[in-house]
């Protein structure tokens, strides 16, 4: 049920490299849902939470960095699955730290049950939390946690 006294939140949902191939890319690891289906579920969940979700996917690190910079003043929080950039991108980490927006890191797979190089996240130290291993639920739980954090800190 919507609470008419709450102002709608604006959430940027960023999807990193290769996530445009969801649904066909290694479904045993990433599931069978497409990115469009995940975005639709995020938008539906956002509506329930009185948050508008603005999704963007890019295979290019610079576009993701630019989008994080542009989030300042436009969005109250960031939900991010940086894909492989999670484990390699100091630039994404620095962009998130620079804008200082509450950020939740999500992953479809449990990155700690995978290859050793996936066990390190450059994003986690600048995020308010990380959720991984629950498939599409990781995204939805991440959105719920982010909105709850933002609502708790509203004054």
The answer on whether 153 is annotated among ligand-binding residues is no
Residues tagged active-site: 30, 107
Compute φ and ψ for 93, nearest 5 degrees: -60, -45
Residue 109 counted as an annotated binding residue = yes
Radius of gyration of the chain (CA): 15
The reply, when asked if residue 108 is annotated as ligand binding, is yes
- Find out whether 81 is annotated in a ligand binding site: yes
DSSP for 61-121, written as a single string: HHHHHHHHHHHTTT-SEEEEE-GGGGGT-HHHHHHHHHHT--EEEEESS-GGGS-GGGG--
> Is 118 annotated as ligand-binding?
yes
> Residue 8 and residue 19: Cα distance in Å, rounded?
27
Residue with tokens 């709608």: 8
* Residue 4 in marked binding region: no
User: Up-side HSE of residue 151: CA atoms within 13 Å toward CB?
Assistant: 15
Could you tell me which residues are annotated as the binding site for substrate? 81, 87, 94, 108-109, 118
Could you tell me which residues are annotated as the binding site? 81, 87, 94, 108-109, 118
């Amino acid at each position: 049920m919507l609470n008419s006294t709450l102002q709608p939140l604006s959430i940027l949902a960023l999807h990193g490299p290769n996530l445009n191939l969801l649904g066909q890319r290694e479904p045993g690891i990433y599931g069978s849902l497409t990115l469009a289906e995940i975005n639709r579920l995020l938008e539906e969940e956002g509506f329930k939470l009185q948050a508008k979700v603005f999704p963007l996917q890019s295979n290019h690190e610079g576009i993701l960095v630019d989008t994080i910079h542009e989030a300042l003043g436009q969005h109250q929080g960031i939900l991010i699955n940086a894909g492989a950039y999670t484990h390699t991108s100091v630039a994404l980490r620095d962009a998130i730290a620079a804008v200082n927006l509450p950020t939740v890191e999500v992953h479809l797979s449990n990155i700690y049950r995978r290859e050793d190089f996936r066990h390190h996240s450059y994003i986690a130290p600048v995020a308010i939390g990380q959720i991984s291993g629950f498939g599409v639920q990781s995204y939805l739980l991440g959105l719920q946690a982010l909105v709850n954090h933002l609502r708790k800190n509203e004054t």
